[in-house]
Amino acid sequence: MPINPDAVGTRGDPVDKSWTSTDCLLYALGVGAGSIEPTGFELEFTTENSTEVTQRALPTFAVVAGFGLSSAFNKVGTFNPFMLVHGEQAFELHAPLPVEGQISTVTTITGIYDKGSGAVIATESVSTDKATGTALFTNRASVFIRGEGGWGGERGPSGKAEPPARDPDHEVTYSTRPDQALLYRLSGDRNPLHSDPKFAAMAGFPKPILHGLCSYGFTGRALLHTLCDSDPDRFVSMAGRFSKPVFPGDDLTVSLWALDDGEAFFQTSTQRGEVVIDAGRCTYR
């Protein structure tokens, strides 16, 4: 059957997941941590046994910890998974993110929109600590499925937002590695689009592209170090829209505009001047 707009409100079965200190370390390396000075190579995120350093989890690890296919998608209808692309990603931390944890995640379909050339499916996933039952974080995401629109449904929000009409208050540039996608995929996303040249060519790319959530993690590091003085406990939320692909080896420049009351607008661009994450919002203490 085609996309089913009546699936809005469908709640999936709980999905249990756990992670270890090693998972947090591997994720941090996958999003470039450890490559800059003078922050001591971000040892609190990349080691577990450095002298007088306590391991911490990067805030954006929440998008990996909460990642997983929910049974809620069984009600969405049938579509070609190769036509699906990640559109937007947001998360909010409700408590400090531990370096080891066990969670239960429940995902709800919050919107299905007709964009003409495709369909957008929006979800909200709440992850709770298995031991205490308290909410640790919430992920909100949308995916765009090419070729599945045109049924006359609601178009939904545009997702567009422009930065303030002034120069950014901060700019941070990180370089990705040529093998960045091969390292990041070890955190769970094994889509061959990011590793197999032949698969990437079938999708219309000259070579494998970097995971959107990897670029998102690089961006989150810039927000953490610039706005929160590298303290994850000050990081509250982050949201952004994926607008263009990134290739391993690209430089990523994160431009930040400080707003009122612990909020910032950001966008991420490559050395080619292409904005790859836009409509970015971050809140912090």
Do 265 and 203 fall within a single domain? yes
Whether 194 is catalytic: yes
* Distance, CA of 268 to CA of 280 (rounded, Å): 9
Do 142 and 234 fall within a single domain? no
Using pLDDT thresholds of 50, 70 and 90, give the confidence band for residue 190.
very high
Task: Evaluate whether residue 115 is within a structural domain.
Answer: yes
Do 126 and 19 fall within a single domain? yes
Task: Evaluate whether residue 52 is within a structural domain.
Answer: yes
Using pLDDT thresholds of 50, 70 and 90, give the confidence band for residue 158.
confident
Task: Evaluate whether residue 154 is within a structural domain.
Answer: no
Do 102 and 179 fall within a single domain? no
Task: Evaluate whether residue 267 is within a structural domain.
Answer: yes
In tens, the pLDDT along 7-50 reads 999 999 999 999 999 999 999 999 999 876 555 689 999 999 99
* Distance, CA of 222 to CA of 228 (rounded, Å): 10
pLDDT of residue 37: 58
Do 192 and 123 fall within a single domain? no
pLDDT of residue 263: 97
Write down the catalytic residue from 189, 211, 250, 278.
189
Do 251 and 219 fall within a single domain? yes
Do 35 and 119 fall within a single domain? yes
Write down the catalytic residue from 6, 23, 167, 194.
194
Task: Evaluate whether residue 181 is within a structural domain.
Answer: yes
- Quick check: pTM over 0.85? yes
Query: What average pLDDT score do residues 183-200 get?
Result: 94
Do 54 and 132 fall within a single domain? yes
Task: Evaluate whether residue 68 is within a structural domain.
Answer: yes
**Structural domain harbouring 251:** 170-284
Give all strands of the β-sheet with 15-19 in edge-to-edge order: 15-19, 101-114, 118-129, 135-146, 84-93, 235-242, 275-284, 263-270, 251-258, 170-175
CA nearest neighbour of 257 among 279, 237, 235:
279
Task: Evaluate whether residue 107 is within a structural domain.
Answer: yes
Q: How many domains does the chain have?
A: 2
Do 91 and 135 fall within a single domain? yes
CA 234 and chain centroid, separation: 18
Q: What is the CATH number of the domain that holds 81?
A: 3.10.129.10
81-102 burial: b if 16+ Cβ within 10 Å, else e: eeebebbbbbbbbbeebbbebe
Tokens read off for 252: 């990523």
Do 130 and 174 fall within a single domain? no
Do 176 and 128 fall within a single domain? no
Do 177 and 127 fall within a single domain? no
Whether 250 is catalytic: no
Task: Evaluate whether residue 152 is within a structural domain.
Answer: no
> Where on the phi/psi map is residue 28: left (φ > 0), alpha (ψ -120 to 50), or beta?
alpha
